[in-house]
Amino acid sequence: QKEVEQNSGPLSVPEGAIASLNCTYSDRGSQSFFWYRQYSGKSPELIMFIYSNGDKEDGRFTAQLNKASQYVSLLIRDSQPSDSATYLCAVKFGANSKLTFGKGITLSVRP
Amino acid sequence: DTGVSQNPRHKITKRGQNVTFRCDPISEHNRLYWYRQTLGQGPEFLTYFQNEAQLEKSRLLSDRFSAERPKGSFSTLEIQRTEQGDSAMYLCASSLSQRSYEQYFGPGTRLTVT
């Protein structure tokens, strides 16, 4: 069974710090990787996606992918209270169109 | 607003009743997905359509669940003989087929089965 694990959390960081969120996946055939942000009571919102090994930066967000170790991470620099949310890791396996989500990590940024 | 819309936003029903939800995707999107999310869990895939064709259905989806997208635009998800375990947020998402990695989610329909 293809799995996406997000086992750490909840995570609390002070405002201005770097928040590091991790995710591992089970299938080496996975092709693409996503981070969604979900505020309480709202629907998921795509913030980053990454296909290739290495880092991808977008503003204060950096996604890191290591296919050999089967993990993907999200770094949030200069964390703000508005970043407080649940962050969902999602994976597309092979050519399949559906997303498989982890259970999410709840981040709290303390003012 | 040209985002994904879902109706109703909330539905309370008694066990054994049938319910139907509607999703209107972003207008140019030809792929439409249904997911279910329970408290403390990530969304779980149910089914997806490309235009009017239902291309995949989760093995977790019992025979009580059926989805349609008759004209390749809006979609409906029906649950027959609801059970308390069906209580969840039902999320719809849409994408372009050539950009299926960019799935945009609607606000969801929260179902409570009493």
Mean pLDDT of A39-55: 92
Is A61 an interface residue toward B (CB < 8 Å)?
no
When mean pLDDT is compared across A49-53, A56-60, B97-101, the lowest value belongs to B97-101
Helix (H) or strand (E) holding A61: strand A61-66
Q: In this structure, what are the phi and psi dihedrals at residue B86, rounded to the nearest 5 degrees?
A: -80, -10
What per-residue confidence (pLDDT) applies to A72? 95
Return the pLDDT at A13: 95
Q: What is the mean pLDDT of chain A?
A: 91
**Residue A95 pLDDT > 70:** no
B87 beta partners: none
* Reported confidence tier of residue A1, pLDDT bands at 50, 70, 90: low
Token couple for B85: 């375990």
Which residues of chain A lie closer than 8 angstroms to B101, CB-CB?
32, 34, 49, 92
Query: Among A45-54, A94-103, B14-23, which is the least confidently predicted range?
Result: A94-103
> Residue B1: is its pLDDT beyond 60?
no
- Out of B40, B45, B56, name the one closest to residue A103 (CB): B40
Note whether A1 contacts B: Cβ–Cβ < 8 A. no
The mean pLDDT of A27-50, rounded to a whole number, is 90
CB contact under 8 A, B42 and A98: no
> Which tokens belong to A51?
């296909």
Element (H, E) at A10: none
Q: Do B31 and A97 touch (CB under 8 A)?
A: yes
pLDDT at site B82: 97
Which of A63, A72, A83, A70 lies closest to A16 in space, CA to CA?
Answer: A83
Poorest-pLDDT segment among A91-100, B46-55, B75-84: A91-100
Look up residue A59 and give its amino acid. Answer: G
Residue A97: is its pLDDT beyond 80?
Answer: no
How confident is the model over B37-52, as pLDDT tens digits? 999 999 999 999 999 9
> Could you say which DSSP state residue A83 is in?
G
- Other Cβ atoms less than 10 A from the Cβ of B51: the count is 13
* Per-residue pLDDT tens digits for B105-114: 999 999 999 9
Quickly state the pLDDT bin for A101 (edges 50, 70, 90).
very high
* Chain B contact for A4 (CB, 8 A cutoff): yes
Interface residue A21 vs chain B (CB under 8 A): no
Answer for the pair A61, A74: CB distance below 8 angstroms, yes or no. yes
Instruction: Please count the residue pairs, one from chain A and one from chain B, whose beta carbons lie less than 8 angstroms apart.
Output: 51
Interface with chain B: mutation pick from A99, A100, A106, highest number of B CBs within 10 Å: A99
* Contact state of B42 with A90 under an 8 Å Cβ cutoff: yes
Contacts of B33 in chain A (CB under 8 A): 97-99
Which residues of A, range 30-49, sit inside 8 Å of B by Cβ?
Answer: 32, 34, 42-46, 49
Q: CA-CA distances (angstroms) from residue A9 to A23, A26, A35, B2, B14?
A: 11, 20, 16, 35, 35
C-alpha dihedral sign at A52, B26, B44, B66: negative
Closest CA to B22 of B8, B33, B32, B35: B8
Give Rg (Cα) of chain A: 13
